[in-house]
A and B are shown apart, each in its own frame.
Chain A
Amino acid sequence: EIVLTQSPGTLSLSPGEGATLSCRASQSVSSSYLAWYRQRPGQPPRLLIFHASIRAAGIPDRFSGSESGTDFTLTISRLEPEDFAVYYCQQYGSSPYTFGQGTNLEIK
């Protein structure tokens, strides 16, 4: 099973700042099969990025994903109030399809 470790656990920033969220895999993720989701309180997760760097439909270009080996990064530029939420990474390269434990992006 591939274990995904997200860091930091909590990130406190102000609107307008940029955010960098990390997701480290315990082993190689096949075909860059990694996705990022945002979950606002009381809502289901929403797909942001798939295949490590491709934005989902309707996701603004402030969101970008990248990878370097087993390290994956979600970058959010110019934070807006609706961006403050919990972010999860998920690998779907091999079953079981595991999630990271989440990063809570909170308003400073």
Chain B
Amino acid sequence: QVQLVQSGSELKKPGASVKVSCKASGYTFTNYAMNWVRQAPGQGLEWMGWINTNTGTPTYAQGFTGRFVFSLDTSVSTTYLQISSLKAEDTAVYYCARAQGSVNFFDPWGQGTLVTVSS
């Protein structure tokens, strides 16, 4: 079955970097774009952007440029989210979510990765 499995929770200090992985299985990885969505504690969903898994080209939503980088390794069907210069306000659950062909509604979602930024 189609599945996205993300890496485990992270605890980081302010100013550090973190890299979250999202491994896909059950389908042809390069046929579907991958999106990233952030959910701060007790808050709603915020779309961060997406990466074209065929070309590796990322697109970032406003507010997620500069410190946020999407990348991929097609040999292991994995997408990555790297966040640098971490701030307390980056504390959130980060989800990867597969697009559907040429349209960006999301199914399935990864289980989420909690990134906590605290000194």
A residues at B contact (CB < 8 Å): 33, 35, 37, 39, 43-47, 50, 56, 88, 90, 92, 95-102
Distance of A45 Cα from B44 Cα, bound (Å): 11
* Contact A98/B47 with A45-B106, A47-B105, A50-B105 known, Cβ cut-off 8 Å: yes
* Contact A44/B107 with A96-B62, A99-B46 known, Cβ cut-off 8 Å: no
Indicate if the CB atoms of B107 and A92 lie closer than 8 Å.
no
Q: Which label, helix, strand, loop or mixed, suits the secondary structure of the B interface?
A: loop
Indicate if the CB atoms of A99 and B105 lie closer than 8 Å.
no
Chain A residues within an 8 Å CB radius of B97: 44-45
Interface residues of B in 81-112 (CB under 8 A from A): 95, 97, 100, 103-112
Indicate if the CB atoms of B112 and A44 lie closer than 8 Å.
yes
Indicate if the CB atoms of B44 and A97 lie closer than 8 Å.
no
Chain A residues within an 8 Å CB radius of B112: 44
B residues at A contact (CB < 8 Å): 35, 44-47, 59, 61-62, 95, 97, 100, 103-112
Distance of A39 Cα from B107 Cα, bound (Å): 13
Which residue in B45, B47, B106 is a CB contact (below 8 Å) of A96?
B47
| Closest CB in chain A relative to B98 CB, distance in Å | 10
- In the A-B complex, list the 8 residue pairs whose CB atoms are closest, starting with the nearest: A44-B109, A47-B107, A35-B105, A92-B104, A99-B45, A96-B61, A50-B105, A97-B47
Distance of A97 Cα from B5 Cα, bound (Å): 23
Given contact pairs A92-B103, A95-B61, A102-B45, a sample of 11 additional A-B residue pairs in the complex whose CB atoms are under 8 Å apart: A35-B105, A44-B97, A44-B110, A44-B112, A47-B106, A47-B107, A56-B107, A88-B44, A92-B105, A97-B35, A97-B104
Distance of A99 Cα from B61 Cα, bound (Å): 13
| Closest CB in chain A relative to B105 CB, distance in Å | 4
* Contact A35/B106 with A44-B95, A98-B47, A99-B47 known, Cβ cut-off 8 Å: yes
| Closest CB in chain A relative to B58 CB, distance in Å | 13
* Complex A-B: 28 CB contacts under 8 Å: A35-B105, A37-B106, A39-B45, A44-B109, A44-B110, A44-B111, A44-B112, A45-B45, A45-B109, A46-B109, A47-B105, A47-B106, A47-B107, A50-B107, A88-B44, A90-B47, A96-B47, A96-B61, A97-B35, A97-B47, A97-B104, A98-B47, A99-B44, A99-B45, A99-B46, A100-B44, A102-B44, A102-B45
